[in-house]
Structure 1
Amino acid sequence: MTAMQYNPDPHAHPGLHLIAVFEAFKGVLAVAAATGLAVLGPQPLRTWLEELIQRFHLDTRHGLLPDLLNAISPGAVQLVVVIGIVYALIRFFEAWGLWRARAWASWLGCIGSAIYLPFDIYAIYRHPGWHTWAVLIINLVVVAALGRDLLKRRRI
C-alpha cells in the first residue's frame, strides 16, 4: 500500500464524515469573516457601532459598546484576522483528520466541542430560544459521536 491510499478505520464512527464537513464549514466561515475584516478594516466597524450607539441613545462615555468602539483599531482588526485564520486552519486540520478517521482528530473535536458546552448552557439561561437549544444539541451530538468513536477505538 502506498502512502497516498486511504485505508479507513473500520471501527470508526460512521458520522465522522458528517462532522468533518461541519468542521470544514466552520473553517470556511472563519476564513470568510477574517477576509471580510481584512478587506473592510476598522472604519466600517466603527461607523456601524457609532450608529448603533446613537440609534439606541446609549451613553457614549460608559458601558461596553463605547469601550468596544475605542478598542477598534487597525492593529486590533489585524489581530482578529490572524486569530480567525488560525481558527480556520485548526478547523480544516480537524476536518481532514476526521475525514481520514484519525483518533487524534476525534480527541481534538471532542475536547473542542465540550469546551463550548458551559457557554451554551449559559446562553440558554440568558437567552432561551430555539437557536440556543439547537447549538447546545448540535454540540452534544458532536461530543457524543466523537466520544463514542474514541470509546470504540479503546475497546479494540
Structure 2
Amino acid sequence: MTDHPTRPYDPDPRAHPGLRAIALVEAAKAFVALAAASGLEILGPAPLRNAVHLLIRHFELSATEGPLAWLANAISSGTVHATAAIAAAYGLLHAIEAWGLWRDKAWASWLGCLAAAIYLPFDLYALARHPGWPAVTVLVVNVVIVWVLARDLFRRRTPLPR
C-alpha cells in the first residue's frame, strides 16, 4: 500500500503548459484556414483566375503549358467552393482541437498527436529535398508537438501521487 492516493490523470491544464502553447498554435491555424475559406468564397473564381494570368504574364510563362496554366484552367466556381469547403473543414477541426487542448481534454491530445505525427514523413521528405533552416524548423516544431502531446497522454495513463 502507498501512503499517497493516486489519480488516473492530472486534470489541471496548468500542469502541462505546453498544451496551452499548442492550443494557441492550433487556434492560429484555424483562424488562417477559416479566413482563407471566407476569402475564397468572397472572391470567387474570376479574380483568382485573373491573378494567375497576371502571374503568368509577369513571369513570362507559357499560357498553355505548366502548373500555372493548369491552375488557371482548373479554377471554376465548383473548384473554388470545394477548396473553400475543405479549408473550412480544416479550420473547424483545428478550432475544435484548440478548444479541447485549452480545456485539457484527452481526445484533443490524441487528435493533435496523430495529426502532427502524420506530417512527420512529409517533413522528413521536405528536409531531404530542400535542406535548410525552414525545413528543419518545421520538422522540429512538429516533433516537439508530438512529444508534448504524447507526454500528456502518457501522464494521463500513469497514476500520479497526490
Q: How would you bin the TM-score normalised by the shorter chain?
A: 0.7 to 0.9
Which position in structure 2 is the counterpart of 1:54?
57
Which one of 1, 25, 31 corresponds to residue 34 of structure 2? 31
Give the Å deviation of 1:55.
Answer: 2.7
In 2, the alpha carbon distance for the partners of 1:108 and 1:83 equals 18
Question: What does 1:1-156 correspond to in 2, within 5 Å?
Answer: 9-10=11-12, 13-156=16-159
In 2, the alpha carbon distance for the partners of 1:128 and 1:139 equals 16
Contact 1:113–1:142 (CA under 8 A) maintained in structure 2: yes
Can you list the C-alpha shifts for 1:22-44, whole angstroms capped at 9, x where unaligned? 11111011111111111111122
SS at 1:58 equivalent: coil
Q: Which deviates further from its counterpart, 101-110 or 8-17?
A: 8-17
In 2, the alpha carbon distance for the partners of 1:123 and 1:77 equals 27
- Structure 1 unaligned blocks of 5 or more: 1-7
Give the Å deviation of 1:60.
Answer: 2.8
Contact 1:38–1:81 (CA under 8 A) maintained in structure 2: yes
- When the two structures are superposed, what TM-score results if normalisation uses the length of structure 1? 0.87
In 1, the alpha carbon distance for the partners of 2:136 and 2:45 equals 33
- Structure 2 unaligned blocks of 5 or more: 1-9
Contact 2:20–2:102 (CA under 8 A) maintained in structure 1: yes
Q: Percent identity?
A: 52
* Stretches of 4+ aligned residues off by more than 4 angstroms: none
RMSD across aligned positions (CA): 1.7
Q: Which deviates further from its counterpart, 49-58 or 88-97?
A: 49-58
- When the two structures are superposed, what TM-score results if normalisation uses the length of structure 2? 0.84
Contact 2:12–2:104 (CA under 8 A) maintained in structure 1: no
